[in-house]
Structure 1
Amino acid sequence: MKPRDIEPFFATLKAANPQPNTELEYTTVFELLCAVLLSAQATDVGVNKATRRLFPVAGTPQAMLDLGLERLEGYIKTIGLYPTKARNLLATCRILVEQHGGQVPRTREALEALPGVGRKTANVVLNVAFGQPTMAVDTHIFRVGNRTGLAPGKTPLEVEKQLLRRVPREYLVDAHHWLILLGRYVCQARKPRCWECAVAPYCDYRPKTPAP
């Protein structure tokens, strides 16, 4: 993607969705952390179905610990990899209680030290909860970055660094939301819906997919 096309690319995405947000449902920073941790290799829809039942009974780290492993697994068993996620979530809650006063830390280092929390999860929490201009590169953003030519890279970290360098500052905080939604609903893996894509004029992908 040519440098001159980047600003109108994001201006178009912003005009269509001025205040984007994650599709995960949460009411507190702790609930956001839990939801993102549970969402690895799972859909937001599936996570939301489980957390609608879980969060009302375990909305704090201590309440989650009090729930215990077996009961926690019962709430999240519809989510992929739930046994591992349940253990990681309880271990994370224990650290939050013992080391952070039950609060979610605001630094990448402290977040990535939590079991089950990698760079992508930390970036989501830093961005969504604390408004930091981070770039959480999931499969959608990785695909969009490479396919459009906006941020080509062989690894998620390479794409992340390219995005941080190329996305104009005024769009950085919201950029990962726009790119995720673009990849999820329009620039899909098997067949990109180029015929209905508002940013197709700025995209390097060729040939554009025709309407069915």
Structure 2
Amino acid sequence: MSKKEKVQGIMSILDELYPTTPIPLDHKDPYTLLVAVLLSAQCTDERVNKVTPELFEMADNPYEMARQPVEDIKAIIRPCGLSPRKSKAISDLSQILIDEYDGEVPESFSALEALPGVGHKTASVVMSQAFGVPAFPVDTHIHRLAYRWGLSTGKNVVKTEADLKRLFPREHWNKLHLQIIFFGRQYCPARGHDPHQCPICSKYGRKSIF
């Protein structure tokens, strides 16, 4: 089987299982998405969605957020973990958005990645889900599955992202990254995974995982 045939087969299965791809993190605009994605680092989307209603009730824009004491932000987001670092990042980036971008989230990878607490993955999620710019954010699910399916060597997320961008059509990146996340959670978990029962691993997985 060629790599092209494998890619087409995987895309067909994902399209059949997940024809629509709702964004997992609750938000109403680019700013609230940015904050939610920042909170999701080393935390589940489910937990973030339980925390953000209270946070956004207190402040749902950079002007309001920048006025809040960091300790108040930290108290609300504590269940998400890393609250000292995340609360300061949310406060600092809100002020930067006010000072440098008139309170708007910039539509630029470089500008986003320069914000406190915002790495390449977070910037990629915001660019793809808020602005529709093709990106392929690689989280632990995508990194794991790309290796299991023989699409990448699994050395690091940078290599995995480059490999996936090379293999999959650019116009499908934004949908695919969500489809793979949903698939990983439902069919291809890190533990207790049976490759024989997995719709994709059973057909396209590495021989070493069996």
Q: Same-fold call, TM > 0.5?
A: yes
Question: 1:189: Cα distance to partner?
Answer: 0.9
Partner of 1:70: 71
**What is the Cα-based RMSD across aligned positions, in Å?**
1.7
Compute the displacement of 1:153 (Å): 3.4
Contact 1:144 1:183 in 2 (8 A): yes
Quote how far apart the aligned CAs of 1:130 are: 1.0
Report runs of 4+ in structure 1 exceeding 6 Å deviation. none
Displacement of 1:196 = 4.4
Question: Do the aligned residues in 2 keep the contact of 1:9 with 1:202 (CA within 8 Å)?
Answer: no
Q: For residue 31 of structure 1, what is the aligned residue in structure 2?
A: 32
| TM-score, scaled to structure 2 | 0.93
Contact 1:6/1:202 (8 A) holds in 2: no
Once residues 82 and 47 of structure 2 are traced to their aligned partners in structure 1, the CA distance between those partners, rounded to angstroms, is: 13
Residues 45-97 of structure 1: CA deviation (Å, up to 9, x unaligned): 11111101111221100111122212111211111101110001111101001
How far apart are the structure 2 equivalents of 1:20 and 1:39?
Answer: 18
Listed as ranges, the gaps of 5+ residues in structure 2 are none
In 1, the alpha carbon distance for the partners of 2:147 and 2:55 equals 37
Between Structure 1 and Structure 2, how many residues are aligned? Answer: 209
- Conserved 8 A contact 2:148-2:209: no
In the alignment, the residues of structure 1 paired with residue 130 and residue 194 of structure 2 have an alpha-carbon distance, to the nearest angstrom, of 31
Tell me the percent identity.
37
Given that 1:148 and 1:205 are in contact with CA atoms closer than 8 Å, whether structure 2 keeps it comes out as yes
TM-score normalized with structure 1 length: 0.92
In the TM superposition, residue 28 of structure 1 has moved relative to its aligned partner by 1.0
2: distance between equivalents of 1:157 and 1:96?
27
Runs of 5+ in structure 1 lacking a partner? none
1:8-60 CA distance string (max 9 Å, x none):
21122012211213311111110000000011011111111110111122110
Show the counterpart of 1:137: 138
Distance 1:169 1:134 in 2: 8
Q: Counterparts of 1:41-60 in structure 2 under 5 Å?
A: 41-60=42-61
| Contact 1:10–1:171 (CA under 8 A) maintained in structure 2 | no
Looking at structure 2, the residues matched to 191 and 156 of structure 1 have their Cα atoms a distance apart, in angstroms, of 23
Measure how far apart 1:208 and its partner are.
Answer: 6.5
